[in-house]
Structure 1
Amino acid sequence: MFRSDPLEDDLQDTTMRDAFAARASALLDTDPRLAVVLADISTDKFRDAAAAHPHRVVNVGIREQLLVGAAGGLALAGLRPIAHTYAPFLVERAFEQIKLDFEHQGTSGILVSVGASYDWAEGSFTHFSPRDVALFDTLPGWRVVVPGHAAEVPRLLDEAVRSDEGVYMRLSLRCNPAPHHTSGGGLTVLREGRNATVVAVGPVLDNVLAATSGFDVTVAYTNTPRPFDEHGLRQLAAGTGDTVVVVEPYLEGTSAWLVSRALADRPHRLLSIGVGREELRRYGTADEHERLHGLDPNGIRHRVRDFLDPITASR
């Protein structure tokens, strides 16, 4: 766990979206290349920034394809755009615009989503987006950051603004109780063991730590799953019998192809834990969806235990 700075201390009791809006607004004051494009979501959080920079904070209304298209146009004009709205509208609804207005044009920007896989469960399936990271895997070169805590957001956003890469930042109301530091987007080891390497992505970390308590496993954390730290995984997996578990807060198996590529020259075992592919067709709460998908500590514990001890699981 990293030692927080005063700003990060102030973010212990806030949301990732609030942390993002505050840092983006501050960056607008200092970076004339930066522009923020909104689609009626979070406009209240950018009210002061819009007043101070009316030509670089643009609200296009509930037109998500236009949101991404406008951001792509700003990138072509030499600006560094941040486009922001709910994940299913930003990524799934406007994927063609991401593909054409950024990827095909050879430009880049920062796409920042909220809602994640099922944050607003009351909003039902139209507001769910567990497939977003899988979609970005079809496009080359995009960095994907998945903070586990609001205090991780400012430095991740700073890095994204300084970069020339396309960056997708996936914000969530699901979070760990405390921030954790990852160096250069790599895997950070929080617990060492011999029987498996368990990789936790973003806000599922503390569920993983609770679930694996008492298990002889290595637990590693990342808030930057793309590019995936394949070198770090190879090193860790070598000490745990090339047995790997990946717990990710989006579609189950999204990172399986990267683990397989990293360990292609070595026999290995892999368990993927994430949001199930079957639609639950229920409203409920985010906590209930987490439990039903087996991403709560109890669900993760049972699946890891059965994976590590298949003889016991078959009884």
Structure 2
Amino acid sequence: MDTMRERFATVASRLLDDDPRLAVVLAEIGVDGFRAAMDRHPDRVLNVGIREQLLVGVGGGLALTGMRPILHTFASFLVERPFEQVKLDFGHQGVGGVLVSAGGSYDWPAGGFTHMAPGDVALMDTLDGWTVHVPGHPDEAEALLRHAAAAGDDKVYVRLSLQTNEAARAVDGRRFLTVREGRAGTVVAVGPMLDGVLAATEGLDVTVLYATTVRPFDGAALRAAAGAADAADVVLVEPYLTGTSAAAAGEALQDTPHRVLGLGVRREELRRYGDMAAHLAAQGLDAASLRGRIAGFFGG
């Protein structure tokens, strides 16, 4: 199976052939996946070199001319390093585009903390009007990328990862999916966390919602699940900073007595990098750790 990032290059290259309004802007990373597209569309596949602020600035400039720019690099270089440009060149200018990141929270541990971005979605959450997609499978990444490319002038962030679920789900870029139903409470599994959550909650009487579009947050789905349960207790399992969606969940349930437990990546930097499985275990996000934390929250 191809990775989400490989699927992105394939799909974006095809979209360039079909839609003359689209342009892809790169900052050296990911160029090899667009060699053929660059030959076909040299004026719409641009590599600005290792200049991430320029990457975003060029994307904003293309959007001002009426183009639909797709920007791509690692999340730490796409969101964190040029955040001022994201805020001003898209938000302040009132234009849209598609930011597609790779690397996630710790996809490449050997790259060190410079190539990790567990706070990217929380940082994007400080800005107004951004849709945020977090696919959990390459097929979902393709569906959400196509949705983002066709989304008029909307501002969209697509977070790709090497971590994937075994099977794809029918995502629509809007709603949470109900994967399992129960009475003790609700667990929201974001993107690539779904398989671990399903394993962790096997035999527990809980509802599992699957979220691949986290902004806007599907408060209606959470309210419906909480209303059908015996208690409005919610666990959020996110592949980025712990508690990123806690405020959104609290707002959705503001008229209902509730408890929310956020599980995700802690703020402490892990300096023994290991591999992705080691990071999941160290963060308490492997299935065994999730089992204990979720069951404990719901009373065993």
Q: TM-score range by the shorter chain?
A: over 0.9
Q: Distance in 2 between matches of 1:287 and 1:255?
A: 24
**Misfit runs of 4+, over 2 Å:** none
Q: Distance in 2 between matches of 1:246 and 1:253?
A: 7
Matched, 1:203 2:155: no
Residue 306 of structure 1 and its aligned partner are, at CA, apart by 1.1
Q: Distance in 2 between matches of 1:283 and 1:190?
A: 33
Structure 2 residue matching 1:225: 3-state secondary structure? strand
Map 1:1-315 to 2 at 5 A.
13-163=1-151, 164-240=153-229, 241-309=231-299
Structure 2 residue matching 1:181: 3-state secondary structure? coil
Residue 185 of structure 1 and its aligned partner are, at CA, apart by 1.9
RMSD of the alignment, in Å? 0.8
Q: 8 Å contact 1:201–1:221 — kept in the other structure?
A: yes
Q: Distance in 1 between matches of 2:120 and 2:202?
A: 30
Work out the percentage of aligned pairs sharing the same amino acid. 59
Residue 184 of structure 1 and its aligned partner are, at CA, apart by 4.6
Q: Distance in 2 between matches of 1:277 and 1:211?
A: 23
Instruction: Provide structure 1 residue ranges, at least 5 long, that are not aligned to the other structure.
Output: 1-12
TM-score, with normalisation over the residues of structure 1? 0.93
**Amino acid across the alignment from 2:80:** E
**Amino acid across the alignment from 2:241:** L
Partner residue in 2 for 1:5: none
More deviation in 148-157 or 83-92? 148-157
Q: Distance in 2 between matches of 1:182 and 1:301?
A: 26
More deviation in 182-191 or 249-258? 182-191
TM-score, with normalisation over the residues of structure 2? 0.98
Structure 1 residue matching 2:208: 3-state secondary structure? strand
**Amino acid across the alignment from 2:72:** H
Q: 8 Å contact 1:14–1:150 — kept in the other structure?
A: yes
Q: 8 Å contact 1:124–1:282 — kept in the other structure?
A: no
Instruction: Provide structure 2 residue ranges, at least 5 long, that are not aligned to the other structure.
Output: none
Q: Cα deviations across residues 43-74 of structure 1 (Å, max 9, x unaligned)? A: 11000000000000000001000000000000
**Amino acid across the alignment from 1:229:** D
Residue 260 of structure 1 and its aligned partner are, at CA, apart by 0.7
